[in-house]
Structure 1
Amino acid sequence: MAKAFLPPGFRFHPTDVELVWYYLKRKIMGKPFHFEAIAEVELYKFAPWDLPDKSQLLSKDLEWYFFCPRDKKYPNGSRINRATDIGYWKATGRDRYVIHDSQTVGMKKTLVFY
């Protein structure tokens, strides 16, 4: 898919609720987007310095958004495979919940690359 060049002044900064309720929900339901702002990337296979080139939006912002399929470490296990050829991603800190109308609609994790 072609990368989108943003017009001057345009910024893609959705809230956590918008990411879950609009983008992720539409992705899961197979509904099309009016504007392809989020690329699907096997995030865990790349080092952080490789990610800006994988972004759907070409901008100088230091935030990128991706849909990432989860690859299990073992076929019957629940652990996620986050290893790359040169390192690995590790979840750190507490999970943070995305709340909408007093209900938990999602969860955020912080990942650090080692």
Structure 2
Amino acid sequence: MNNKIWGLVGLAARARKICFGADSVEQEMKKKKVKLVLIAQDSSERTKTKFQKLCKENQTECLIIGDIETLSKSIGKVNKAIIGIEEENIAKQIQKINYGGESIG
């Protein structure tokens, strides 16, 4: 997976512009703070389905990307399958890189 994406996720974490874990991401989505949701590919099907539905309802972009270990490591935590990015510019950059658009650096 693209190291630039994980670098941006880490940047958002250091700026305290993320939330992680199912409950926290869901709460922040309801407050309309989350601009992008990252879900680990190896998270449960139930979790993926639940958050894909929530993202659709809240008109929030959702990416199924990486694995739990990689997502967790990028934010300096352990066993986190869901990350919500709250910074709009970082969310847009991650989407650009993921979809093969212009990359940074």
Q: Normalising by structure 2, what TM-score?
A: 0.28
Q: Which of the pair has more CA radius of gyration?
A: 1
Q: TM-score, normalising length from structure 1?
A: 0.27
Bigger proportion of residues as strand: 1
**Higher RCO by CA contacts (8 Å cutoff, separation 6 or greater):** 2
Instruction: Identify the structure with the greater helix proportion.
Output: 2
